[in-house]
Amino acid sequence: MSEWLVLTLAMLAACTVVIVITFVRHRRKGEDEDPSETPDVIEYMTMWIGVVYAIVLGLAIAGVWEARSAAQDHVQAEAQALYEVSERVRVYPSDVRDRIRADVDAYVGHVVTTEWKSMTDHGRLTERGDELLARLRADVTDYQPKSDFEAQAYQPLVDQVAAAAQARTARADAIGPTMPGVVWFGLISGAVITIGMVFALQIRRTPRELVLAGLFSALIAFLLFLIWDFDAPYSRGMSATTDPFLTLFPHLPD
């Protein structure tokens, strides 16, 4: 099922629940119930509950967005480090240069085709990716420079391989959800309480009030969906992508 379809159904469900409860409550209300006599303290509490929940939602959205941006930065750093290896190795003899570049292409090709799917479907990196990166590291570090010019390029190449390995580790750490379960409990409980306070204000069945209540509940459903979608940086709709690899290595298949 498409994530956007899930969002649409969730928003429609939230609106429907609010409208249905309003109709049921309206039918069962007592004859002496007067919506204009809502105590001031309830209005005050409703206002502050909405404000506090809005702050919590804002912080949650900011947190998952920052995590998503950091995940994309890890991909960019890894791709850039591998690109630097591929370019700086040009000072080495042709056989060594071609071997190291082949190692880089094999690793990048595996990441964008096989490993990315493993991250999306299973939430983990592949052992094959570890093996390909280890082979690249061995080919770079085991070479003994034959001239001062090659020696000057050796350490930067080793540093770039280390940077790629570090970025890969960071990418692995960013695969899972960033929001703890207790935070989700608070977000969902807060949504229920916030929407429930609408009924504490004795909402009536006028079209204007029903539309506003429905839009309010739909907005909360949308914001919760947005947090959920950003919560897994590599596996949902608005996730980090392999674009940095494909941009720097256009000759490889995507």
Assign 218 to helix, strand or coil.
helix
Of the candidate ranges 113-122, 173-182, 229-238, the one whose mean pLDDT is the lowest: 229-238
Q: Where are the beta strands (DSSP E) in the chain?
A: none
For 146, phi and psi rounded to 5 degrees?
A: -100, -5
- CA dist., res. 172 & res. 146, Å (int): 37
Q: What is the pLDDT of residue 199?
A: 67
- The pTM of the full predicted model, rounded to 2 decimals, is 0.76
How confident is the model over 37-62, as pLDDT tens digits? 555 666 667 777 888 888 988 899 89
* Contact yes or no for 87/252 (Cβ under 8 A): no
Mean pLDDT of the residues in the chain: 82
Residue 123 pLDDT > 60, yes or no? Answer: yes
Between 91 and 198, name the one with better pLDDT: 91
Q: What is the pLDDT of residue 41?
A: 60
Q: What average pLDDT score do residues 184-207 get? A: 76
- CA dist., res. 91 & res. 85, Å (int): 11
- Give burial (CB, 10 Å; 0-12/13-18/19+) of 57: buried
Share in percent of the chain as helix, strand, coil (round to 5): 80, 0, 20
How confident is the model over 128-144, as pLDDT tens digits? 999 999 999 999 999 88
